[in-house]
Amino acid sequence: MNKKKKSILKKVLLLVSIMILTLGGYYLYRNYQILKQVHQYEEQVEKAVQEENIPQYRDLVLGIIFTETKGEHNDPMQSSESTGGYPNQIEESQESIEQGVAFLATAIKKADAEGCDLWTAVQAYNFGLDYIDYVAENGKTNRLELAERYSKSTLSPELGNNEQTKYRYLSYQSVLYNGGYLYHNGGNFFYADLVKANEKKIEQTNFLF
């Protein structure tokens, strides 16, 4: 390789390295900002999980807030739909967290009663409690393939998507799994995996807040 080609290669590698470092730095900064916003609800979450007798799931609840709203909404747990079936009904964070934790506690209790794993209950936070019955009849363990099948064949048609049409949804999980899509009216079948990843972020950075 001549000197000119080596020089070009070095410049390209330097540029790529700078881009990777810049993107990595932005990712870390953005996650720190989100975590800071999520942790502002820590006291409310601790109170709610104590009242629902699930104190061991404090970080899980914070992971749900991270997943649902990144702590940027008056309804941080997006609890309106589990209250009355309609979005944007709750406008106060305490009510949102109390309702969200109560629904999660109900899902965990039902999943335990039917012999299903915790992540079935977490996925049911997005899909609804009927998903627990579905998992109970199909192996008792939440799996991405099972969640996708429920989204496609049960939830989407129930909510009017009889043609099972899809829309673009980009995350590293979705791109690796299916190129990046979800079903219209079918919830998010990556939900449990997203919460699991965000719960780990909470656990690994608790010392910062």
At a CB cut-off of 8 Å and minimum separation 6, what does 143 contact? none
What is the C-alpha to C-alpha distance for residues 27 and 34, in angstroms, rounded to an integer? 11
pLDDT at 65 over 60: yes
Tell me: the pLDDT tens digits for 127-159? 999 999 999 999 999 999 999 999 999 999 999
pLDDT of residue 132: 98
pLDDT band at 53 (very low <50, low <70, confident <90, very high): very high
Domains of the chain in sequence order: 3-208 (1.10.530.10)
- In this prediction the pTM is 0.88
pLDDT band at 83 (very low <50, low <70, confident <90, very high): low
Find the angle CA(76)-CA(65)-CA(147) to the nearest 5 degrees.
120
pLDDT at 87 over 90: no
